[in-house]
Homo-oligomer: A and B are copies of this chain.
């Protein structure tokens, strides 16, 4: 099953000619999740051939325009293109009020349902769950209420070792083995020991999206060991003072967090328009956490099982 992230925008608040406002697409199997939706996201979706009608969930981190000013336009285009399937929209207080007002004055009545979930940006809390995935909020520290999102695949079934399975096992017993149980008789004695007939399940993959934030170690327990951490890196370290003042992070801070959280891979983005060349940001991060990449628009990061 696919578990891959596509970057649609990598710029901080002022866009540049090459870099757009924040938006990312996380594909998990057939499910497309849109994470933030800066101005122009619908055009970026078109550019990178992501079908917006397949988006099931939209997660908005906070109400600075560079993270959501493309949302009303995208929802309108879904409407014009006859979307009928419902959509889950997660975001902080105020988002529904703004959209409602825009649609009121636009005389827009959407032909599909939006299930709006107002998230509490101050806690790590499960806000979504389906067969494959859970999503938790990650509290950020920014100038307005802001959260990241943690996407985790659910635990997967163990592999049955076909050559080692006794033939008397029934289908329900096989399912129980897949989920880690031993098979016992009515007296409670073990007939088939799980570890003898199964091997470990495929890895459950995880992606943590850390939106605009000051350096903040208290999220470490939540993002510990994730396969992929995206962390904003608006500035280089020589502007750490400005980063702190504006509630943003430096590339070194992002890398330090990645290192402390022992994540597998770090992606940095949300670059200030002042950086034409992004390599100094990459080098600064890699000096601390070598497995770092730049968020590059149109590029996909696949996480293998």
Of chain B, the residue at the smallest CB distance from A145 is: B105
Check A47 against B17 for contact (C-beta < 8 Å). Answer: yes
Query: Chain B residues near A20 (CB, 8 Å)?
Result: 43
The minimal Cβ–Cβ distance linking A77 to chain B, given in whole angstroms, is 6
Chain A contacts with B in 33-47, Cβ cutoff 8 A: 39-40, 42-43, 46-47
Q: Which residues of B contact A73 (CB under 8 A)?
A: 21, 39, 65-66, 69
Contact A101 B97, beta carbon cutoff 8 Å: yes
- Tell me if A244 counts as interface (CB < 8 A to partner B): no
Please indicate the chain B residues that have their CB under 8 angstroms from the CB of A43 in the complex: 15, 17, 20, 39-40
Cβ-closest chain B residue relative to A21: B73
A106 within 8 A of B: yes
Which residues of chain A in 65-102 are interfacial with respect to chain B, using CB atoms and an 8 Å cutoff?
A: 65-66, 69-70, 72-73, 76-77, 80-81, 92-95, 97-98, 101-102
Contacts of A202 in B (CB 8 A): none
Asked whether A63 is an interface residue with its Cβ less than 8 Å from the other chain, the reply is: yes
Contact yes or no, A39 B70, CB < 8 A: yes
Does chain B have a CB within 8 A of A14?
yes
A46 / chain B contacts, CB cutoff of 8 Å: 15-17
A42→B15 contact, CB < 8 A: yes
The answer to whether B107 and A144 have CB atoms under 8 Å apart is yes
Interface residue? A64 (CB, 8 A): yes
A101: B residues at CB distance < 8 A: 94, 97-98, 101
Inter-subunit contact A42/B42 (CB<8 Å): no
CA distance A73 to B13 in the complex (A): 9
Q: Tell me whether A113 is interfacial, beta carbon within 8 Å.
A: no
Partner of A76, one of B13, B93, B106, B144: B13
Within 124-166 of A, Cβ neighbours of B (below 8 Å) are at 143-144
The minimal Cβ–Cβ distance linking A50 to chain B, given in whole angstroms, is: 13
Instruction: Tell me the nearest residue of chain B to A144, going by C-beta.
Output: B107
Q: How far is the CA of A9 from the CA of B108 in the complex (A)?
A: 22
A128 and B47 CA atoms in complex are apart in Å by: 40
Residue of B nearest to A38 (CB): B73
Residues of B within 8 A of A93 (CB): 105
Q: Are A98 and B94 in contact (CB under 8 A)?
A: no
Return 10 A-B CB contacts under 8 Å, by A number: A15-B42, A15-B77, A17-B46, A21-B73, A39-B70, A65-B72, A69-B73, A94-B105, A98-B105, A107-B143
